[in-house]
């Protein structure tokens, strides 16, 4: 059964599978426990009627997912309807043929629910790991994306490029259930990335982690214009918004509960990047204010933020990252339930008008 399509925008969740120490208990779960929690979260999201579940890719000991396709294949076996996507696949350092074949296989296992969200990655550890140079950061992504799109369109491919051996009538197997495997590009904030997504005619997933969402409107405009200039119909150009979220019965409760985990999350992410900054409560309050892109609050507050952004972007998909900072699984499960039962119905209704 292919992923169902709801009226209005698609709503889902994603994880990067970070392994953080719970700031309240000092306990750090194992990679095995983290993956089991992710599979359970996807099962809950599917049963609750959410549309999409995403799994990220990192090659570090403090993350549990270096192979999204494998985890998503396990998820496919315990779910029935929910769409399954990478968030993101680090395309610069992946062999596009291997990536396509993995997700085509996932598509067969899941009965037509697979997608690829390709990005350049927030970290660079995969470059030396797989024998690539960071000097080729952009050129690698461009070349690999061109090849990936050819693989989605043709059973046999003849191709040559700079960074891998050429293909001569290569058979690309298996073919997916879907006529064409959906491809998106993840965009963090650079105009060049937005234009690239439009030029390739693929979906653009915006990572909006904070600040005023209005600053991302020019990227959506650039994306749409680049797609139209490249000859694509406007209705085929899809925009997604992804962001951090925490949902509780009241906004005050959400902020009280989430601050220790969010501060903890940014402390270890900044440490991974060689920075020692810690988020103050005042900084957090500012980040979580009503006119910002951080989705922390009551269901009503989250609905308002999603709909405000929909007025700006007219996007087709919203994905929330709920499980960061070393939170216990119970918090994540409660967030999934609130997203599915109290937020999604209103957002779908309002965005289908």
Beta bridge partners of 350: none
Residue 24 near residue 328 (C-beta atoms within 8 A): no
Residue 304, CB half-sphere, CA atoms under 13 Å: how many? 11
| d(C-alpha 54, C-alpha 115), whole Å | 9
| d(C-alpha 295, C-alpha 209), whole Å | 9
**Rounded alpha-carbon distances, angstroms, from residue 212 to 178, 216, 291, 293, 327:** 37, 8, 6, 6, 26
What's the chain's average pLDDT? 95
Relative to beta strand 156-159, strand 167-171 is antiparallel
Give the tokens for residue 51: 């549309």
Q: How confident is the model at residue 271 (pLDDT cuts 50, 70, 90)?
A: confident
Give the tokens for residue 35: 């993956």
CATH superfamily to which 10-351 belongs: Luciferase-like domain (3.20.20.30)
Omega before residue 174 within 30° of 0, cis: yes
How many other C-beta atoms are found inside a 10 Å radius of the C-beta of residue 129?
A: 12
- Interval 2-18 mean pLDDT: 83
Q: Which of 267, 245, 266 is nearest to 323 (CA)?
A: 245
Residue 307 near residue 350 (C-beta atoms within 8 A): yes
Percent of the chain predicted with pLDDT > 70:
98
Specify the range with the lowest mean pLDDT, choosing from 4-8, 122-126, 127-131: 4-8
Pure H helices in the chain: 31-48, 68-78, 96-110, 126-129, 137-153, 191-200, 217-229, 251-272, 281-287, 299-313, 329-338, 344-351
pLDDT of residue 1: 44
Assess whether pLDDT exceeds 80 at residue 6: no
Q: For residue 230, how far is the Cα from the chain centroid?
A: 25
Domains of the chain by residue range: 10-351
| d(C-alpha 74, C-alpha 3), whole Å | 16
pLDDT digits (tens, 9 = 90+) for 54-103: 999 999 999 999 999 999 999 999 999 999 999 999 999 999 999 999 99
Residue 347 near residue 11 (C-beta atoms within 8 A): yes
């Amino acid at each position: 059964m292919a992923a169902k399509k709801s009226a209005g925008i698609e709503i889902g969740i994603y994880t990067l599978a970070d392994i953080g120490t719970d700031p309240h208990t000092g306990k750090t779960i194992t990679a095995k426990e983290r993956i089991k929690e992710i599979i359970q979260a996807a099962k809950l999201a599917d049963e609750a009627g959410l549309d999409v579940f995403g799994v990220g890719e990192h090659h570090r000991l403090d993350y549990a997912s270096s192979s999204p396709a494998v985890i998503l294949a396990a998820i496919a076996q315990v779910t029935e309807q929910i769409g399954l996507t990478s968030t993101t696949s680090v395309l610069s350092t992946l062999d596009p043929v291997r990536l396509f074949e993995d997700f085509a296989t996932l598509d067969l296992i899941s009965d037509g629910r697979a997608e690829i969200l390709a990005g350049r990655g927030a970290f660079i550890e995969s470059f030396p790991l797989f024998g690539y140079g960071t000097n080729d950061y952009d050129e690698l992504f461009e070349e690999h994306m061109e090849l990936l799109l050819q693989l989605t369109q043709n059973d046999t491919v003849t191709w040559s490029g700079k960074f891998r051996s050429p293909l001569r009538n290569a058979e690309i197997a298996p073919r997916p259930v879907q006529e064409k495997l959906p491809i998106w590009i993840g965009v963090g904030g650079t105009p060049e990335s937005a234009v690239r997504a439009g030029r390739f005619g693929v979906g653009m997933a915006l990572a909006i982690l904070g600040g005023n969402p209005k600053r991302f409107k020019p990227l959506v405009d650039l994306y749409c214009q680049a797609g139209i200039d490249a000859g694509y119909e406007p209705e085929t150009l899809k925009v997604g918004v992804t962001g951090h979220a925490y949902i509780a019965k009241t906004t005050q409760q959400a902020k009280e509960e989430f601050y220790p985990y969010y501060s903890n999350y940014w402390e270890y992410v900044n440490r991974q990047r060689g920075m020692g900054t810690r988020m103050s409560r005042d900084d957090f309050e500012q980040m979580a204010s009503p006119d910002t892109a951080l989705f922390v609050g009551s269901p009503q507050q989250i609905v308002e933020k999603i709909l405000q952004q929909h007025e700006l972007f007219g996007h087709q998909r919203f994905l929330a990252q709920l499980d960061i900072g070393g939170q216990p699984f119970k918090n994540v499960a409660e967030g999934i339930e609130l997203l599915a039962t109290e937020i999604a119905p209103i957002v779908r209704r309002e965005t289908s008008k």
